[in-house]
Structure 1
Amino acid sequence: MHIDVWLESVPPNAVYALVGVIILLESLGIPLPGEIALVTASVLAASGVVNPWLVAACAIAGAIIGDSIGYSIGRKGGKPLFEKLGRKFPKHFGPDHLATAERSFQKWGMWAVFFGRFIALLRIFAGPLAGSLKMPYWKFLIANVLGGVIWAGGTTWLIYTVGKAAEQWLKSFSWVGLILAALFGAGSAWVLKRRAAKHRAEHPETSGGQPAAEGEASAEAGTEAVPAPAAD
């Protein structure tokens, strides 16, 4: 079952915890679809199923805490940790992925943590890699908090706003569609009625009645005098 279908099937109160846990685990370094979970929860919020503020709060908390735990793990495990993960998960932690992430960190420093929150590949690497490269924690924490708040809060707000606008548009469109359908139905009935009347006027013999001449002849035949009987 896909994560979006799963979130839609659980009770509303469980959505908050699931979103927070999924994003936490992804930020920690486990390849999970955190962004899909956040977008799905935001869509549910736009539908009125869950509260958007709680979705954003849980997502922000999961992002910040997960990245911080990932930083600690990376600082203790170092590069051998990534080599081990690369053997187990080559599609996510392969040498090419690791090299790309390292180049981003060497070029951008703490901003790689911030912008990494918006990129799927770096979102998994950001915390552990920052720790393994011995980035000062205060720099990491600033970028981590800013990235988590803007990514999680911004995504929730954007999807919620677009969803509500789309919902209002669809409601308006449904009323417009209903009015247009009613007008179309009334117009079609009027056209059909006019065509039927025109057809009856042009072809009276097929309308179920009889021409006037035949009706008069029948009347005359019905009133013809009967001869009187002969007298004795």
Structure 2
Amino acid sequence: MEAFLDLLNNLTNPDWIVAHGGLYLLLFIVFAETGILIGFFLPGDPILFIAGIIIANLTLGPVDSVMTLLYWIALISAAGIAGNFLGYWCGKYFGHRLLKMKDNWLFKKAYIYRAQEFYHKRGGVAIILARFLPIVRTFAPIVAGIVEMDFRKFAFYNVVGGIIWVGSLVTLGYLLGENEWVQRNLEYVIMAIVIAATAPVVIKMVTGRGKRTATVSEPEMLEEQE
């Protein structure tokens, strides 16, 4: 457990990431958080921002630096897109078994219901918006598979959402990566990035929920089909 906690603490340290796998570690984390059920606790947004910082601090010329940025964005986007595809197929083939599981410290059905409600309220756009919501982004593709969302529709929003999510946060990290103040206050900057990315969606969800005249119960939600 101590080693696990050390891992989580070090995932916000660019130097540690570079020394322990670099791009390969980033690809695994993004894929795991977006495609593997137990990966919901991984810090996807901070990881993407830190990826940009790592690129900005490489000793490369301007052209090579931009090409490296685009290369990393392409690979990390592919990892996030592949992760969501895995989540979709897991939801489609194993979702109902998953919902029969009892809650435990690692898995709670409330995560599924929360993602499912978000999906039903926003439709296909939810796949894009969910990218910016921790925990929800892990379960949104699973829910899409459970309700058997049209695969072509899911694939479109999955690809678009993956590119927007990765491209925006990695580029932001790249643009701010050489700033000394950002480097000295990285933890606070990361916290601000996460809040800025999630706040608009959360506020919209809360205000939209307040306007609803009726709520959908969990069993009813599970019976709805896209």
Same fold (TM over 0.5): yes
Residue 108 (structure 1) shift: 1.3
Assess, with a 3 A threshold, how the Cα gap between structure 1 residues 120 and 169 changes in structure 2: closer, same or farther. Answer: closer
For 1:141 and 1:47, the matched residues in 2 are separated by: 34
Residue 36 (structure 1) shift: 2.2
Q: Which contiguous aligned blocks of 4+ residues in structure 1 show a shift greater than 6 angstroms?
A: none
Q: Residue deviations 1:31-62, cap 9 Å, x none?
A: 22222222222111222268423331222011
Assess, with a 3 A threshold, how the Cα gap between structure 1 residues 62 and 86 changes in structure 2: closer, same or farther. Answer: farther
Match of 2:104 in 1: 87
**Count of matched residue pairs:** 166
**Match for 1:105 among 113, 119, 122?**
119
**Retained in 2: the 8 A contact 1:3–1:37?**
no
Which amino acid letter does the alignment assign opposite residue 51 of structure 2? A
Assess, with a 3 A threshold, how the Cα gap between structure 1 residues 100 and 135 changes in structure 2: closer, same or farther. Answer: same
Match of 1:23 in 2: 30
Runs of at least 5 residues in structure 2 that lack an aligned partner in the other structure: 1-5, 60-64, 184-226
Kindly indicate whether residue 82 of structure 2 is the aligned counterpart of residue 72 of structure 1: no
Counting only pairs closer than 5 Å after superposition, residues 211-222 of structure 1 correspond to structure 2 as none
For 1:159 and 1:37, the matched residues in 2 are separated by: 10
**Match for 1:53 among 67, 70, 80?**
70
Residue 121 (structure 1) shift: 2.4
Assess, with a 3 A threshold, how the Cα gap between structure 1 residues 85 and 129 changes in structure 2: closer, same or farther. Answer: farther
Which amino acid letter does the alignment assign opposite residue 26 of structure 2? V
Match of 1:38 in 2: 48
Q: Is the deviation greater in 46-55 or in 13-22?
A: 46-55
Q: Is the deviation greater in 115-124 or in 145-154?
A: 115-124
What's the RMSD between the two structures over aligned residues?
A: 2.7
Match of 1:96 in 2: 110
Q: Is the deviation greater in 125-134 or in 4-13?
A: 4-13
Which amino acid letter does the alignment assign opposite residue 65 of structure 1? A
Kindly indicate whether residue 129 of structure 2 is the aligned counterpart of residue 115 of structure 1: yes
**Retained in 2: the 8 A contact 1:19–1:55?**
no
Match of 1:197 in 2: none
The TM-score with structure 1 as length reference comes to 0.63
Assess, with a 3 A threshold, how the Cα gap between structure 1 residues 61 and 106 changes in structure 2: closer, same or farther. Answer: same
Identity in percent: 26
Match of 1:142 in 2: 156
The TM-score with structure 2 as length reference comes to 0.65
Residue 11 (structure 1) shift: 4.4
Q: Residue deviations 1:147-189, cap 9 Å, x none?
A: 000000111111211234x35999xxxxxxxxxxxxxxxxxxx
Residue 63 (structure 1) shift: 0.6
Larger Rg: 1
Runs of at least 5 residues in structure 1 that lack an aligned partner in the other structure: 171-232
Which amino acid letter does the alignment assign opposite residue 38 of structure 1? L
